[in-house]
Amino acid sequence: MGDSQQGNNKGKGKEKENYESWTMDDTNELLHLLVDAINSGLRDANGSLSKQNVERLILPRLNAKIRFPKTYNNYLNRMKWFKKQYNKMSTLMRNNSGFGWDPIAKMFTASDEVWKDYLKSHPSLIRESTRFYPDFKDCIGAIDGTHIPAMVRGRDVRSYRNRHGKISQNVLAACNFDLEFMYVLSGWEGSAHDSKLLNNVCFGTLDFGLEC
């Protein structure tokens, strides 16, 4: 799983840095090189790798194995990403019961129920999970239906009565992984089947950019 980072203008009149996103293979290769450097005693008194060592020893070996060469600034950005991931995992182990660590597979372990509860309260982590991300690759959100109570009079009451005997509208909604609504289709009678609403979105007269 990689993440896209675009080059930024660092000053007026300066060109954007030609930058390609980090892939997971790129990231893993950098991680292996960092571990080798640390095991070889290349850290300075502050426990960090100097710019000289990174540019002389790590980046040449990294760029020889990846498609898009990285600069020292790219390296610094990836180190910030590593720190962010470390903090997330530390919080996970410190504040959540039910998680363990498999030293052989080198990954967190938990029951499906524990993962389900955790991802429900941390939806953005789906995008960063090596366990769940492959199943959600290229997915931009999720859709579901719900019934909203309605006030209807006269002969329309019958068509708005849903299968539970309540008077309602059948509503279809789509949200992204940050739990923000992207689209809502309302107004359908409570007796309308969910598939009818989906067909309305996919094949209706309005284009919502959905592929069905």
Tokens (6 digits) for 104: 């052989």
Least confident among 5-14, 23-32, 120-129: 5-14
pLDDT value for 130: 65
- Give, in degrees to the nearest 5, the angle at Cα 158 between 155 and 161: 140
Tell me if 162 sits within 8 A of 147, measured CB to CB. Answer: yes
| pLDDT tens, position by position, 128-144 | 666 666 777 777 788 88
- Give, in degrees to the nearest 5, the angle at Cα 153 between 148 and 154: 135
Tokens (6 digits) for 26: 């790129």
Tell me if 144 sits within 8 A of 198, measured CB to CB. Answer: no
pLDDT value for 56: 92
| pLDDT tens, position by position, 163-204 | 889 999 999 998 887 778 888 888 899 999 888 888 888 876
Range 162-169 contact pairs with CB under 8 angstroms and sequence separation of 24 or more: 162/190, 162/191, 163/191, 166/190
Residue 10 has pLDDT above 70, yes or no: no
Phi, psi torsion values for 100, nearest 5 degrees: -130, -175
| pLDDT tens, position by position, 80-101 | 988 888 887 777 666 566 777 7
Tokens (6 digits) for 205: 């007269």
* DSSP per-residue string spanning 40-99: TT---TTSS--HHHIIIIIHHHHHTTSSS---HHHHHHHHHHHHHHHHHHHHHHHH-TT-
Range 58-66 contact pairs with CB under 8 angstroms and sequence separation of 24 or more: 58/30, 58/33, 58/34, 61/33, 62/26, 62/29, 62/30, 62/33, 65/29, 66/23, 66/25, 66/26, 66/29
